[in-house]
Homo-oligomer: A and B are copies of this chain.
Amino acid sequence: MSHVYKKIELVGSSREGVDDAIKRAINKASETMKNLDWFEVSEIRGWIKDGEPQHTQVTIQVGFRIED
């Protein structure tokens, strides 16, 4: 069948780095949404404090199937 998908844009934040920031954004989205299917990274940035990266922020598009 030919499904229709919706994409939303989230920004995950982590003290550990890129992979964990992606995971946190997806975990949060899955609390209230079903059928999450894929993600695409569009931006990596972060905040610096005392000469160290404090929060890595990764912007992702999350695609999910719209139910029929």
Chain A contact residues, CB within 8 Å of chain B: 2-19, 21-31, 36-41, 43-48, 50-53, 55-56, 59, 61-63, 66
Contact = CB atoms under 8 A, between A and B. Distances in A.
B11 A9 contact: no
**Contact residues of A: prevailing secondary structure:** strand
A14 B2 contact: yes
Given A4-B28, A24-B4, A62-B48, A17 B18 contact: yes
A19 to B, nearest CB: 3
A6 B3 contact: no
Contacts of A46: 22, 38-39
Given A28-B66, A48-B39, A10 B5 contact: yes
